[in-house]
Chains A and B, each alone.
Chain A
Amino acid sequence: MAPNNKNTNHSSPKQQRGSALWSNIFNKTSSHTETTIAILRRIPLFKGMRKPELLEFERLMHRRDYREDETVFFEGEPGVGMYIVQEGSVIICKNDGDGQREILAELSKGEFFGELALLDESPRSATAVARDESKVLGLFRPDLLELIERKPRLGNKMLFQLALMIGDRLKRTNDDLQSSRDQLEKSKLIT
């Protein structure tokens, strides 16, 4: 898959020309920012955050465009951060030995993936591919670490939600494991 060479900056031309300093002074929020804020509100990681706090995260996010069937990241590559689908859809898949891909999930607008990469640089456990033309928002570990240093209270809020989410996932995995074990033992008893 060829890399997309398109400019991924979505701000209007007028905004692009204007200095960041002036936009900093007047601090206008564009309709684009409002859309992003609306998406962030629906994500559990940003649960309970006020608008200024969400704006802080919005400022850290990178917007990227992907063409149909273009890879967002490959399985096995070091993870740098998480992505949120803004438009279009993204599939999470694993390659089996025969070059076929097994689709694990399909994510649409407002859904996110790769969040564990916010914690460390360990290799991605699956590949993410844009199913159709998609726009995604990326939040990356170095930016999050910098935010934790700069605004620890806000950083902690987000990390707490991440911990809750991982804890919840762990509980569900344990339950699944337990039920699989029970089923296995039942089938053993039957045979």
Chain B
Amino acid sequence: MKAPDRNYTIHIRPQTVRKAIAWTVLAITLIAFLSLMPAVQSVLTLVAFAIFLAFILDPVVSAMENRGVNRLLAAALVFVGLGSLVVLLFMVLAPVVSDEVSQLTKSMEDPNSGSLWDKLKENLGDSVPLLNNPTVDQEIRGKLDEIARRSFSVVAGVVPAVISFVMLAFMTFFFVVDARRMKKGVVSWVPNRYFEMSLSILYKINAQLGRYIRGQLLVALIVGTLSVCALKMLDVRYAFFIGAVAGFANMIPYFGPVVGAVPAIVIVFVDTGSVGAVATVAVAFASIQLFENVFVSPFIVSKSVSLHPLTIIVVILIGGQLMGIMGMLLAVPTASIVKVTGQELTWGIKNYRIF
């Protein structure tokens, strides 16, 4: 008997090949970008911050433009006003915050009695015997010294920080003044077939991100102010510093509120040793969070860029690994950019019959 013919033909649709090529190109670009990351990290951070600030300042400049002021002049006026405000705030708040930071650093660094760690051990040592273990004690002292040294290196790095600040201001200024022309310039390079789609996607991303960034900053400002007020009312030391940290940290979902509350709780515990006082501070922070979640965020932060909690945790960890605290702060906005871009690209590819 003759064996059946077993010659099979596999048909691959052109769409599948195109999709495979697109994904490969995307993967290669991503790998190339990640491998180049360390070399251009600081420049990229600066550019990202400038774009971030431009998003915040754009509505102010546009509002002045609406009243007939030339955009260049409006941007210049906003920058002069903002510069004066920063200098004024620096003159008023810097001595307070710097005093609080130096006191905090001293209390961590000082190995003699009265240090933060000793006070903590004194208050908590009886209930947690592990804290009296010499190895643990040495390890934690080492870590605290390192943090204190880092704080000093931050202070020593003021000159490069000022240079970066000036560069940041310049970049932001150009982004604010020339944003429209820049967008037009970018779109002018897009081939005709993808032109309308790119234009539509670019505008949608721009609008959504603008709302998201401005919303986040406003929420951070509200949380920071409420934290400072609550801490001042509860007579907690370093209220301005902790409040500012809580405000900024609030931009990191899930981890942020904890990062903001922990320093206040530790300081209150070290100072008073009272569980009641700690509970009061914890309740104050929890109330601020509740207020933020129920009354502030739903009305301010755009829902369209909401990410799954698991995605948020993963991107924050990746951001932290790549760029430390700055990476954690930038992780969620970056992931939101990727999400909005992905959403709009999918919409565009479907509706414009690209593949």
Contact = CB atoms under 8 A, between A and B. Distances in A.
A9 B188 contact: yes
Given A77-B353, A149-B66, A150-B62, A21 B174 contact: yes
Interface string B177-215: 110111011011101111110011001000100000000
A78 B181 contact: no
A24 B352 contact: no
Nearest to A4: B192
A140 interface: yes
B contact face: mostly helix, strand, loop, or mixed: helix
A5 interface: yes
A24 B177 contact: yes
A42 B152 CA distance: 68
A5 to B, nearest CB: 5
A24 B174 CA distance: 12
Contact of A149 (B62, B177, B178): B62
Nearest to A130: B192
Nearest to A3: B193
Nearest to B207: A142
Contacts of A2: 193
Interface in A52-84: 59, 62-66, 70-74, 76-78, 80-81
Interface string A4-24: 110111000000000111001
Nearest to B206: A142
A24 B72 contact: yes
B334 to A, nearest CB: 23
Contacts of B177: 20-21, 24
Contacts of A140: 199, 203
Contacts of B178: 19-21, 24
B351 interface: yes
B203 A142 contact: yes
A172 interface: no
A24 B71 contact: yes
A141 B41 CA distance: 36
A4 B72 contact: no
B195 A64 contact: yes
A62 B184 contact: yes
A4 B66 contact: no
Please give me the 9 A-B residue pairs with the lowest Cβ-Cβ distance, nearest first: A3-B193, A142-B203, A3-B191, A20-B181, A4-B192, A9-B188, A20-B178, A80-B196, A5-B191
Given A77-B196, A150-B66, 14 more contacts: A3-B192, A4-B193, A8-B188, A9-B188, A59-B180, A62-B184, A62-B187, A63-B188, A71-B193, A72-B192, A77-B352, A149-B62, A149-B66, A151-B66
